[in-house]
């Protein structure tokens, strides 16, 4: 661990000029990101922080939110009921795929693809949309250790242009997979994706999962320890879009990425790691992020199956 500062400095210098990849453009507001932003943050389960680069730069969490909403749904519904409604099978398809939703599928494949994440948002408890939104923001706040907010322009942008997500919700309604309040469900889904974080926050959120659900800085519990296992399992098998298999092979730790350029990974009982750099590849993963994680995993033997 004493080598972290030097090594992340080395990685930062090595990859700061790597400029392959593109900004996500299907949500118009995301094209305003600065392609040069680059940050690496590591927070250990003891609360030690190692970071370099644009760690305080804000961005919307996007798909990384799916991990935490899944944890919330586990707490709200319990494992067995949730499993009846949302599977845990990796798809190998792009995150927003419509292909595997048909009459024969009883439930969306997993909570990390959009269909499953929208269905998960539909299971969050609360009397009305405001209560559900507030519960969700409080939940994120326990992981970040501070109050979180929604980026309203990004939310509005996605709400106005998210036709594909709307189509997924309509199909799932047709197949009886979600309730009929699809506008409310989609709003909550777009709001969860629009929560504002920075790279430090993501590392702390990951460190909280690494620390069995207790935030290592505030010492507050963010999620019941018994559900951390479920969350990490779907992250491991489904968290990196249709690159999840290669990620598991090369890097070997549970992780989740988002199209705004964040990647968050959990080293159980040791640390949370986050990289932020908005240029993404065809699967939706940050290009610099992938390189940094591969090297970190090799250098510190983070791969869960690296037995030496």
Among the options 66, 154, 266, 292, which is catalytic?
A: 66
Give CA–CA dist 262/284, Å, rounded.
Answer: 10
Q: Is 233 a catalytic residue?
A: no
The reply to whether 144 sits near ligand GLU by the rule CB under 6 A is no
Pick from 237, 235, 240: nearest CA to 280: 240
Tell me the closest approach of the beta carbon of residue 95 to ligand GLU, in angstroms. Answer: 5
Q: Which of residues 191-250 bind ligand GLU (CB under 6 A)?
A: 193
User: Residue 209 or 259: which CB sits closer to ligand GLU?
Assistant: 259
Q: Can you tell me which residue has the tokens 């009305």?
A: 128
For the window 260-289, what string marks contact with ligand GLU as x by the rule CB under 6 A? ------------------------x-----
The reply to whether 258 sits near ligand GLU by the rule CB under 6 A is yes
The reply to whether 95 sits near ligand GLU by the rule CB under 6 A is yes
User: Residue 25 or 307: which CB sits closer to ligand GLU?
Assistant: 25
Q: Is 241 a catalytic residue?
A: yes
Residue 21 gets the label, from left (phi > 0), alpha (psi -120 to 50) or beta, of: left
Tell me the closest approach of the beta carbon of residue 83 to ligand GLU, in angstroms. Answer: 23
Q: Is 63 a catalytic residue?
A: yes
Long-range contacts for 282-286 (Cβ within 8 Å, ≥24 apart)? 283/94, 283/240, 283/241, 283/242, 283/243, 284/24, 284/63, 284/94, 284/95, 284/241, 284/257, 284/258, 284/259, 285/240, 285/241, 285/243, 285/257, 286/21, 286/257, 286/261, 286/262
Residue 162 contacts by C-beta under 8 Å, 6 or more apart in sequence?
Answer: 27, 186, 190
User: Residue 11 or 117: which CB sits closer to ligand GLU?
Assistant: 117
Q: Which one of 41, 45, 55, 96 is in contact with ligand GLU (CB under 6 A)?
A: 96
The reply to whether 108 sits near ligand GLU by the rule CB under 6 A is no
Q: How many residues does the chain have?
A: 308
Residues that bind ligand GLU (CB under 6 A): 62-63, 95-96, 114, 158, 165, 193, 258-259, 284
- The residues annotated as belonging to the active site are 63, 66, 189, 241, 259
């Amino acid at each position: 661990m004493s080598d972290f500062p030097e090594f992340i400095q080395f990685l930062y210098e090595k990859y700061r000029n790597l400029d392959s990849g593109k900004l996500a453009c299907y949500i118009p507001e995301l094209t305003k990101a600065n392609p040069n932003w680059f940050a690496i943050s590591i927070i250990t389960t003891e609360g030690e922080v190692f970071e370099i680069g644009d760690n305080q730069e804000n961005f919307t969490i996007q798909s990384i939110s799916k991990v935490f909403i899944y944890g919330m749904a586990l707490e709200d519904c319990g494992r067995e009921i949730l499993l009846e409604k949302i599977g845990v099978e990796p798809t190998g398809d792009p995150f927003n795929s419509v292909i595997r939703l048909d009459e024969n599928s009883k439930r969306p494949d997993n909570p990390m693809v959009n269909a499953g994440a929208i269905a998960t948002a539909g299971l969050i408890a609360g009397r009305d949309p405001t209560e559900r939104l507030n519960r969700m923001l409080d939940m994120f706040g326990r992981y970040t250790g501070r109050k979180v907010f929604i980026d309203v322009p990004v939310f509005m942008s996605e709400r106005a242009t998210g036709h594909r997500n709307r189509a997924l919700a309509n199909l799932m309604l047709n197949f009886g997979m979600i309730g009929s309040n699809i506008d409310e469900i989609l709003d909550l889904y777009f709001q969860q994706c629009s929560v504002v974080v920075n790279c430090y926050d993501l590392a702390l959120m990951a460190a909280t999962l690494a620390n069995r659900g207790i935030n290592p800085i505030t010492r507050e519990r963010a999620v019941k320890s018994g559900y951390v296992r479920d969350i990490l399992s779907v992250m491991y098998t489904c968290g990196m879009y249709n690159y999840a298999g290669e990620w598991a092979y090369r890097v070997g730790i549970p992780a989740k990425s988002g199209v705004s350029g964040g990647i968050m990974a959990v080293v159980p009982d040791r640390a949370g790691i986050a990289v932020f750099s908005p240029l993404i590849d065809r699967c939706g993963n940050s290009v610099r992020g992938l390189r940094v994680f591969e090297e970190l995993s090799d250098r510190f033997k983070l791969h869960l199956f690296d037995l030496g």
